[in-house]
Chains A and B, each alone.
Chain A
Amino acid sequence: MDFFPFKKYTSRSFRIGGIHPPECKLSAGNPIVALSPPETAVIPIVQSLGIPSSPVVKKGDRVKVGTLIARSNGFVSANIHSSVSGIVRKIDEITDQSGYLRTAIFIDVEGDEWSEEIDRSEELVKEIKLSPREIIGVIEKNGIVGLGGATFPTHIKLTPPAGMTAEVLVINAVECEPYLTSDHRLMLEKSDEILVGIELLMKAAQVKKAVIGIEDNKADAIRLFSEKVRHYTGIEVVALKVQYPQGSEKHLIDAILHRQVGSGQLPVSVGAVVQNVGTAFAVYEAVQKNKPLVERVVTISGKSVHRPSNLLVRVGTPIRQLIDAAGGLPEDTGKIIVGGPMMGKAVVNMEIPVVKGCSGVLLMPSLESQRTKMKPCIRCSRCVQVCPMGLEPYLLGAAGELSLWDRAEHERVMDCIECGCCSFTCPANRPLVDFIRLCKAKAGAIIRARK
C-alpha cells in the first residue's frame, strides 16, 4: 500500500512571525527543458556580492563555453565564464536588474562549442578524490556563487573566519517564494548529483553532518530524498512548514537547529553553513565534471503565462527569450519581476540578461501589479505580529519617512532582512519596506562613517 507516513514528518518552522502567501506553484509539474543559447549573450561583470569582476577579454576575442571572461577582483568577488561560444563584440553598458547601466561583455554567438576540459557526459561521478582545500579551490576557480539569489561567493562561505568552526551543513531546498519551482524540479531530476554535491560540500566545510530542509508542499521531493539519503552517512532530510520566509538563512537555521543567529553575526557563529540546493548541484558539476557556472534553471511563470516552465538557461540570455519560450508576453502584463514576488526586482524592459542569481522570471497581470493607495497607519500591529525578526516595522517605516536615522538604528533596523512580510500584511497598504530600505542605507552609511 502506497501510504505516505505523515507522522514521520513533523513540520518544523522558525519561531517568530511569518506569513503564508498563496503558493501558485504553477510550473511544479513541468520538467526542466534546456533553452537554446541566445544570439547575443550579454554577460554583466557584476554577478556576485562584493566587487565587480574585471574583464579579461577584449573586442574580437574568440571564446568557447567555459572560457574565463572576467576575473575575481578582490576578497569578495567571483570569476565569470562565458556561457556561449562566439566572438566578443564589445564591452559596453546595459541596464541590468539593478535598474542602472552596468558594464557587460557582449558576445555574438556562433555555434555551441564547449571548452575541452569540461566533461559533458551524463554519467554520475560519485568518487571524491580531492582534499577539502582542493575542493574549495575548484569551487573558486569555477566561479560558483550562492544560487538562492544572494550570490555570495561559495568559496568564502566554506572558509569560516578564525575562531569559528562549522558543525552542520544546512541545504536550503525550501524555495518559500510563491511561483518559483526551479529548485523543486532540480531535486526531482538530479537527486543523485545533488547528493554527491552535498558530500563535496561536507568535505570542503569539514563537517560530518548535513541536513536538507524541504517545505511540505514538495512531498515528492521529500519522499525521494528521504529514500536516497539512506545510502549516505550523515545526511538527513527535514520537512518544514510552508511558511514565508522559511528559506531565509537565519530562519532556516532556527527551524532546523533551533538556534538563532545573533544580530550582525554570521550563521557559522552558531556552527551552521547554509547552501542552496542549486549551489550543491553546481558544486557537483564544477568538481566532478570540471564545469564552471555558466547556466542555471530559471522558472518562468505567472497567472496569464501560456506555458509556465522551468528552463535551463545560459547566463547572459535576455529574458525576452524565456518569455517567448513560455508562449510570449501575455496581453495584460503589468510587471516583469526577476526573482520571486516577495523579494524579486521589477525590471524596466525585456532585454535584461539572466545572471547567476536569477531564479525566476514572473509576469504579473496588470490588475495585480498596481499598489492600492496608502492610508495613515491605524496601529493595528499586524506588521509587528508577522515580522520574522521581531522588529517593529511601523516604527521603522515612520523613521524612514521622517529621516530619523539614529532612531531607526536604535530600533535595530540593520537586522531587517527585507522579506516583505510587513508590507504584505499592512491593511493600510503602507510601503513599509521601501522606507525601511532607505533607513538601512542611511543608517548603514552612518555606521560605516563612525568606524
Chain B
Amino acid sequence: MPENNIQKRSMSGFMNHHFIVSPSPHLHSGDSVSKNMYGVLIALVPAFLVAIYTFGLGALVVTGTSVAACLVFEYLIQRYLIKGENSITDGSALLTGVLLAFNLPSNLPLWIVIPGALFAIGVAKMPFGGLGNNLFNPALAGRVFLLISFPAQMTTWPVAHAANRFSTVDVETGATHLAVLKGYLPGDSLHLIDLFYGKMGGSLGEISALALLIGLAYLLMRKIITWHIPVSIFASVVLFAFLMGADPVQHLFSGGLMLGAIFMATDYVTSPMTPKGMLIYGASIGLLTMLIRLYGAYPEGVSFAILLMNGVTPILNTYCKPKRFGEVVKHG
C-alpha cells in the first residue's frame, strides 16, 4: 500500500520521532454513533419482551423480517446505487427496522413488511443523503406508507394473549382501544391498569406503557435523550385532551403515544437541536395528535403528528436559538 511505503521512506529522514500533530482538543469523550443507537435498542428491549409475551410468534417474525430487510436494503443501496461507504454497522438501519416493526400489527403479512422497509430506507432515508440528512423519520414514513397503501391489513390487529400465539396458526383479530374510544368498533373501555401494563391489542411496540417508560428512564439515565421532547408531548396531550373534553389519562396510555413520544419523536436527525425548539416541537405534536384523534378520520394521530412536525423542524432550528452567553434582552 502506498501509505506504508511513504512511512518507510520517511522514517530514514532526519527526525527520529514522528509525532502526531493535530489541532486541539486532544481528548475525546469516547462517545460514538453506534453507542447511541445500540443504547436505544437496549431501551426497547422491555417493550420487545412484552410484545413477544402478548403476540407470540408474530412479533418475532415481523421484527426479524423488518430488521433484515432494512439492513439488506441499506447495504444494497450503498453498494450499488450510491457506491459509497458501507454504514450498516452503525446501528441506525437496525434501529429503523425495529421501530418500523414496533409500529406494525404482529399479524402483518411479510410481503407487506418488506416494501415498508424499502420505503423507509430507500425513499425516506438514503435519497436525502443517508444518516443525518433525512427530513422525515424513516420508520414512521414507512409505517404511514403502509397504512395508506394497505389500510385493511394495517388496521386488523391480532387479539392479545391469544392461546395459539406461539404456533404458526393464524390468530384471531380484534379491536384496539383507540378504535373503541372513537366508536368505530364495539368493545369495552379498558381499565387504566390494563392500559398501563399492556393487556390490550395494538401494534407490536405500543401496548405496554410501563415497558416503554422503563425504556425512557434508561435513555434519560444514559443521557441519550433529554427530557424536553417526551415531557412536552405528555404535558401537551394531557392539557389538550382535558380542554377538548376527553379523558387525558386514557389518551396518554393508549395507542402509539408512548412509543411515539419516547422513541420516534426523539429521533436525533428529525427533531430540533435546541431546548426551546424541542419544547415547541413536543407541544405541537401533542396538539396535532389530539386534533387528529378527536376530530380527524383516523383513530390514531401520533404518526401523522410527528411527521408533520418533522417538516417544521428546520424552521424551528433557524428561529429557536439557544440562550447565548452574555445575551442582552434586546436582540443585537
B-binding residues in A (CB < 8 A) = 16, 19, 21, 99, 178, 250, 254, 260-263, 265, 329, 333-337, 339, 341-350, 362, 364, 366, 368-372, 375-382, 384-385, 387-392, 394, 412, 415, 418-420, 423-429, 431, 433-434, 437
**12 interchain pairs, CB-CB under 8 A:** A21-B27, A263-B324, A335-B21, A346-B21, A346-B26, A377-B132, A378-B131, A378-B132, A379-B268, A412-B324, A427-B36, A428-B33
B31/A390 in contact, CB under 8 A: no
- Does B3 reach chain A (CB closer than 8 Å)? no
Contact B326 A376 (CB under 8 A): no
Chain A residues closer than 8 Å to B129, beta-carbon distance: 376
Contact at B326–A424, with CB atoms within 8 Å?
no
Chain B nearest Cβ from A148, distance in angstroms: 15
Question: Is B26 a contact of A342 with CB atoms below 8 Å?
Answer: yes
Please determine whether A390 and B26 come into contact, CB atoms closer than 8 angstroms.
Answer: no
Q: How far is the CA of A423 from the CA of B132 in the complex (A)?
A: 17
A372 cross-chain contacts in B, Cβ below 8 A? 28, 32
Please name the residue on chain A nearest to B26 by beta carbon. Answer: A341
Q: Shortest beta-carbon distance, A335 to chain B, in Å?
A: 5
> Is B187 in contact with chain A by the CB < 8 A criterion?
no
Is B322 a contact partner of A384 (Cβ separation < 8 A)?
yes
Q: Are A261 and B17 in contact (CB under 8 A)?
A: no
> A-B pairs with the 4 shortest C-beta distances?
A420-B25, A390-B324, A381-B273, A376-B132
Interchain CB contact under 8 A, A433 and B23: yes
Tell yes or no: B173 within 8 A of A by CB.
no
Report whether A343 and B25 are in contact in the complex, using a CB–CB cutoff of 8 Å: yes
Q: Please report the C-alpha to C-alpha distance between residue A329 and residue B35 in the assembled complex, in whole angstroms.
A: 34
B26 proximity list for chain A (CB < 8 A): 335, 337, 341-342, 344, 346, 362, 364, 369
Question: Quick check: A250 and B274 within 8 Å, CB to CB?
Answer: no
The smallest C-beta distance from B41 to any residue of chain A, in angstroms, reads 15
Are B19 and A391 closer than 8 Å at their CB atoms?
no
Q: How far is the CA of A126 from the CA of B324 in the complex (A)?
A: 43
**How many Å from the CB of B78 to the closest CB on chain A?**
13
CB-defined contacts of A434 to chain B, threshold 8 Å: 23
**Closest A residue to B323 using CB positions:** A390
The answer to whether A415 touches B324, judged by C-beta atoms less than 8 angstroms apart, is yes
Contact present for B273 and A342 (CB under 8 Å): no
CB–CB A342/B24 < 8 A = yes
Chain B residue nearest to A261 (CB atoms) is B326
Which residues on B are within 8 Å of A, measured CB to CB? 15, 17, 19-29, 31-33, 35-36, 87, 90, 129-133, 226, 268-269, 272-274, 321-328, 332
Residues of A within 8 A of B325 (CB): 16, 250, 254, 260, 263, 388-390, 415
Q: A344-B24, A349-B15, A427-B31 are in contact. Are A260 and B326 (CB under 8 A)?
A: yes
Q: A250-B326, A260-B326 are in contact. Are A381 and B20 (CB under 8 A)?
A: no
A390 / chain B contacts, CB cutoff of 8 Å: 322-325, 327
8 Å CB contact of A384 from B33, B130, B133, B273: B273
Assembled-state Cα–Cα distance A344/B24 (Å) = 6
CA A337 – CA B149 in complex, angstroms?
Answer: 60
Q: Contacts A265-B326, A381-B274 known; A429 to B321 CB distance under 8 Å? A: no
With A369-B20, A371-B22, A376-B132 in contact, do A394 and B273 touch (Cβ < 8 Å)? yes
Q: How far is the CA of A372 from the CA of B27 in the complex (A)?
A: 11
A423 in complex: contacting residue of B28, B90, B322, CB < 8 Å: B28
Identify which of B15, B24, B29 gathers the most chain A CB atoms within 10 Å of its CB. B24
User: Which residue in A337, A368, A375, A419 is a CB contact (below 8 Å) of B90?
Assistant: A375
Is B19 a contact of A348 with CB atoms below 8 Å?
yes
> Which chain A residue shows the least CB distance to B90?
A375
A419 to chain B, nearest CB (A): 8
Q: Known contacts being A335-B20, A377-B132, is A424 close to B322, with CB within 8 Å?
A: no
Interchain CB contact (< 8 A) of A385 among B29, B226, B272: B226
**What A residues does B33 contact at CB under 8 A?**
375, 378, 427-428
List residues of chain A with CB within 8 A of the CB of B36: 378, 380, 427
Cross-chain contact B19 with A333 (CB below 8 angstroms):
yes
Question: Are A341 and B130 in contact (CB-based, < 8 A)?
Answer: no
Residues from chain B with a CB closer than 8 A to the CB of A178 are 27
B19 x A334 contact (CB < 8 A): yes
From residue A416, how far is it (CB to closest CB) to chain B in Å? 10
A437 surroundings in chain B (CB, below 8 A): 23
A339: chain B residues at CB < 8 Å are: 24
Q: A422 to B112, alpha carbons, bound, how many Å? A: 43
Q: Do residues A376 and B133 form an inter-chain contact, with CB atoms below 8 A?
A: yes
A341-B26, A428-B33 given as contacts; is B17 within 8 A of A392 (CB)?
Answer: no
CA distance A261 to B332 in the complex (A): 15
Contacts of B17 on A, CB cut-off 8 Å? 329, 333, 349-350
- A419 to B285 Cα, complex, angstroms: 36
Q: Determine whether the beta carbon of A429 is less than 8 Å from that of B28.
A: yes
Note all chain B residues with C-beta closer than 8 A to A371: 22, 28
Contact of A378 among B19, B269, B326, B328 (CB under 8 A): B269
Q: Chain B nearest CB: distance from A399 CB in Å?
A: 14
Interfacial chain B residues near A415, Cβ < 8 Å: 324-326
Question: Complex Cα distance A418/B274, Å?
Answer: 20
Q: Which of A382, A387, A426 has the most chain B CB atoms closer than 10 A to its own CB?
A: A382
Asked whether A346 and B273 contact (CB < 8 A) given A424-B29, A427-B31, the answer is: no
- Distance (whole angstroms) from the CB of B229 to the closest CB of chain A: 11
Q: Are A346 and B22 in contact (CB under 8 A)?
A: yes
Q: In the complex the two chains form, what is the Cα distance from A18 to B64 in whole Å?
A: 41
Q: Which residues of B contact A378 (CB under 8 A)?
A: 33, 36, 131-132, 268-269
